[in-house]
Structure 1
Amino acid sequence: MPESAATAVSRTPSGRLALANASEQIALGPLDGRYQSAVAPLVDYLSEAALNRDRVAVEVEWLIHLTSNNVLPGTTPLGAEQQEKLRAIVTEFDAASVKELAEIEAITVHDVKAVEYYIGRRLPAIGIENLTALVHFGCTSEDINNLSYALGIKGAVESVWLPAARALVAQISTMARDNRDVPMLSRTHGQPATPTTLGKELAVTAHRLTRQLERISKTEYLGKINGATGTYAAHVAAVPSADWQSVGKGFVEGLGLTWNPLTTQIESHDWQAELYADIARFNRILHNVCTDIWSYISIGYFRQIPVAGATGSSTMPHKVNPIRFENAEANLEISNGLLDTLGATLVTSRWQRDLTDSSSQRNIGVAFGHSLLAISNVSKGLERLDVAEEVLAADLDQNWEVLGEAIQMVMRAEAIAGVEGMENPYERLKDLTRGQRVDGARMQEFVSGLGLSPEAQERLLALTPGLYTGIADALVDHLK
């Protein structure tokens, strides 16, 4: 039966129901759908709603700053109750506020102007409607936007991303310490090489990641409030007696940001590019961690602890797949694609202003979201790992040829000490070991026939691949 006009529903050209018209909003991207819970903390800092709330906060604080410092003739400092009510516009900002702003913006077709009107509507209730003209005084939209983005990014980094990243590095550091003396065959170029310990290799990773976190923690978040082309022209025209540089500097620093005295209409965003490069580098190191762990799982060095009720494969019941690390790899790559693009785009602006940064910056939350999701997945993946020490030991026992390095170095030391018959140590070990497996008995037979000093021979005969790890365990102590 054909649908009547009264019961008609929206359909796509293929005849399917149009999901875009569902009563509940359906997410287009995975961060707002499948993975929403993992990235939810970023919503308070990097969402469109958070950006608008921060815009309101900057406008409110600017109004309070101008009056508190008697910048404009005819104004006096607001009372404590009035300031409290003004700041309540920010603290009480909610879903209804978001809706109201959207309704205003539908008329203004300008997001920052909508914020100005939104605040102006609330001044009569505070008893300061006479200060409506002071809202957004002297400002270009970018004065508000650059400070709002800086506050949001700073909050996201310091309150969400850094704590999650630090927790992951601490988790890897704990694994390093717990496995500091677990011997493991190294592989250089994919081939058996001088043994190490699992803990030392994990410590290398933790050390690398820690260096990036230290750089990120020292990020300078810059801001400006100097007008349409960075000259304070409107400010000076309106109030020539004011020290506008001092006023602007005090305001920006009062927000917890670093004042940038020289800009065009936009704050140059160089600090953002620097931050994104550091986070991208952290992501790339973490990506390397994922591929290494994945490879260790594939050769049995780690066992994955099954999750009760979980399915590894839809057809192969035995499978426990390293999906956490694979998921993290993909999300780190997506994050870096965005971070690299942001870093390249934001440092360039035609003459005094173009809008490429406006569209680009709306994706900052997406870039952080994919990184945060990856961090979560790596952490969960590590929690489900168990070290298969017997597999590591068996692998070492199958590769006695790695002692060739130790033997030829002892021969060199013996030659320097005057022991006869130690000629061509490298070549002799190469003939014995290159491209072929040598078991313990053959290696010890070779050592016994070299004519080493008794002390050196005893030391080498006691050496096994599992004991040939140098001071790898002690190196773990370099972790902070």
Structure 2
Amino acid sequence: MSLNSISPIDGRYEKQTSILSPFFSEKALMQYRVIVEGEYFIALSLLRKTSLRKFSNTEIKKVRSLYRLSSKDFEHIKNIEQKTNHDVKAVEYFLKEKLAKTSLKKSVEWIHFGLTSYDINTVARGMMLGDALEKVIIPKIILLTKNINTISKKYKALPMLSRTHGQSASPTTFGKEMKVFEQRLKKQTDILEFVRISVKFSGATGNFNAHHVAYPKVDWIKFAKSFINSLNKNRKIKLELNLPTTQIDPHDREIEIFDCLRRINTILIDFNQDIWHYISDEWLVQKVIKGEVGSSAMPHKVNPINFENSEGNLGLANALLNFFSNKLPISRLQRDLSDSTVERNFGSALAYSLIAYENLLKGLSKIDVNKHKMAKDLDNHPEVITEAMQTILRREGVAMPYEKLKELTRGKNITMGDIHKFIDTLKVSIEVKKELKKITPANYIGLASKLV
């Protein structure tokens, strides 16, 4: 952990977020750019419809050997950038230098042929985002979902008091309430797993101007589609060429991803807050970890800090994701540069999300269900069975059962004894009275356990 980091992402939470460094660090961006430039260079040689000769297998291996940037390579690219004041041009010059003393020395001017820097950046960032989602973010969300589902199955039949508008309501089970979150997360994750990332690869203003003027007989649209598709090998989250565009891709597909992530994070904020309430009600208890301190002033405290931390970081992530969605679709005319600096923060949004997921997983590992307290609080609210009673009385043709039970219970503290006395006054059969008296808060859970 660096004590001099400005952001907690690379400081306090470095151990949790360093797994994203291969996808969103400055070095990673340079490396992905090198890959795109290199693969394009190779693809042009295999096209056989320009004056660029076909590369040998050895030459292709040589180009691809440059994809793994050493620290020295990275520093060299940054030094070139200091002179050019252009990061993508620095990558182009780096590749030309590396290949200048090889059999490809007469072909190096074909590096970056007909392209604008955005063509390289959009594909590089698409690969970065797709890889980070596939290898880090989605697996973590799936793990969270599985953990919640495990809790759901374990406690599918455990009765629990519901609350609507903060007031006692018809009972449910703890497992079923966990299942609600599991299903919400699963539906959104299914969307996220099959998303395609839109990229642009058509020159300065999206018309293949330079390509076409140099080689008008080449089908550059077909070539671009084929090239982008070639990058999808072994990639679950696919890249997809967007046509037509201006100089930039409009970011609509990225926004679909960010909005989906934002929905997932919002579901988890909801989950964190519910767990927080259950802990506050003592329906959930947190395991005491020896040596840990809950409060610097109150020795007894075991605070739900993991769930609170998760909620806070999810909020930070969503603030960025929401900004991306509002900002990125807007670009002056054919292009302005305001999207570029915003794109550099994709990793921050995913890092805050990852911190939140890790804390939530840690929090879940430290909680147990307090069955006794859950049952006690449920039993203290016998009024929740009046819904069942008035429904049965409707079935039996009793006049105004809802109103009679409202008069008995609304705004009052009643007991099961009070309810049974009321049942005795009803003009219904003995069998119906027995049926009503069998209903308890603990057994009035409907089909909750079957919904899990």
TM-score by length of 1: 0.91
Query: In the aligned structure 1, how far is the partner of 2:304 from the partner of 2:49?
Result: 61
Partner of 2:439: 463
Partner of 1:324: 306
Partner of 2:336: 354
Query: In the aligned structure 2, how far is the partner of 1:213 from the partner of 1:346?
Result: 23
Partner of 1:86: 63
1:309 aligns with 2:291: yes
Query: In the aligned structure 1, how far is the partner of 2:104 from the partner of 2:389?
Result: 86
The correspondence of residues 40-55 of structure 1 with structure 2, limited to 5 A, is 40-55=18-33
Cα distance, 1:81–1:25 mapped onto 2, change above 3 Å: farther
Partner of 1:28: 6
Partner of 2:236: none
The correspondence of residues 58-69 of structure 1 with structure 2, limited to 5 A, is 58-69=36-47
The correspondence of residues 36-435 of structure 1 with structure 2, limited to 5 A, is 36-73=14-51, 75-90=52-67, 92-256=68-232, 257-415=239-397, 422-435=398-411
Moved over 4 A (4+): none
C-alpha deviation, 1:356, in angstroms = 0.9
Query: In the aligned structure 1, how far is the partner of 2:369 from the partner of 2:3?
Result: 44
C-alpha deviation, 1:188, in angstroms = 0.4
C-alpha deviation, 1:456, in angstroms = 2.5
- 8 Å contact 1:294–1:325 — kept in the other structure? yes
Matched residues, number: 445
Instruction: State the Cα deviation string for residues 164-191 of structure 1 (Å, max 9, x = none).
Output: 0110011001100001001000000000
TM-score by length of 2: 0.97
C-alpha deviation, 1:307, in angstroms = 1.6
Query: In the aligned structure 1, how far is the partner of 2:62 from the partner of 2:429?
Result: 87
- 8 Å contact 1:224–1:252 — kept in the other structure? no
Instruction: State the Cα deviation string for residues 381-414 of structure 1 (Å, max 9, x = none).
Output: 0110000000010001100011111111000001
C-alpha deviation, 1:370, in angstroms = 0.3
Q: Secondary structure at the match of 1:31?
A: coil
Query: In the aligned structure 2, how far is the partner of 1:448 from the partner of 1:134?
Result: 94
Partner of 1:9: none
Coordinate RMSD, CA, aligned: 1.1
- Percent identity between matched residues is 39
C-alpha deviation, 1:272, in angstroms = 0.8
C-alpha deviation, 1:25, in angstroms = 7.8
Instruction: State the Cα deviation string for residues 191-249 of structure 1 (Å, max 9, x = none).
Output: 00000000000000111111111111121111121100001110111112211111111
- 8 Å contact 1:86–1:126 — kept in the other structure? no
What amino acid maps onto 2:149 in structure 1?
A: S
Unaligned runs of 5+ in 2: 233-238
Query: In the aligned structure 2, how far is the partner of 1:383 from the partner of 1:437?
Result: 37
C-alpha deviation, 1:124, in angstroms = 3.0
What amino acid maps onto 1:206 in structure 2?
A: E
Query: In the aligned structure 1, how far is the partner of 2:18 from the partner of 2:143?
Result: 17
- 8 Å contact 2:3–2:11 — kept in the other structure? no
- 8 Å contact 1:224–1:248 — kept in the other structure? no
What amino acid maps onto 1:71 in structure 2?
A: K
